[in-house]
Amino acid sequence: MNWYSIHPLLSAIGIPVKATDYLLGDRAYFDNPDVNPETPEWQGENVIILPGGLYYGHGIGILPAETMIRALNANRKQDATQPAYLLDQVARPDFKKLADIYNRYSARTASIVWAPFPAAI
């Protein structure tokens, strides 16, 4: 995803910026700079910050930072020198904007027309 050219609607989920604090719900990234080229899917993990020092990563699950880093480090190239780490950037959702979008679209009514199942042969 190109965060420099982002659809205005997607900007409500936050554009990553340098941060000195991390809040629950922030989106962060664990980077694996020395990833094994044969396992590029382990180049990093997008996560959501959860309570209790936990992170949710799609595909890897809910884990503490140490376990997330250990999993990434297990997939580094031979002779790697730089371990995986949590970037000092976060994307903070604009909750007010997200609520406004939700209210605008949830106000639309929809109806479902159910058709009977075909008769058994």
Model confidence over 43-94: pLDDT tens digits? 999 999 999 999 999 889 999 999 999 999 999 999 999 999 999 999 988 8
Does 43 map to a domain?
Answer: yes
- Provide the token pair at 45: 């993990």
H/E stretch holding 49 reads strand 44-49
Does 103 map to a domain?
Answer: no
User: What is the total count of domains within the chain?
Assistant: 1
Model confidence over 4-37: pLDDT tens digits? 666 666 666 677 889 888 999 999 999 999 999 9
CA distance 110 to 121: 33
Alpha helices, H only, the chain: 65-73, 95-106
Closest among 60, 63, 27, 22 to 43, alpha carbons compared: 60
Does 31 map to a domain?
Answer: yes
Residue 36: which domain range?
A: 19-96
Does 105 map to a domain?
Answer: no
pLDDT recorded at residue 111: 64
Query: How many residues make up the chain in this entry?
Result: 121
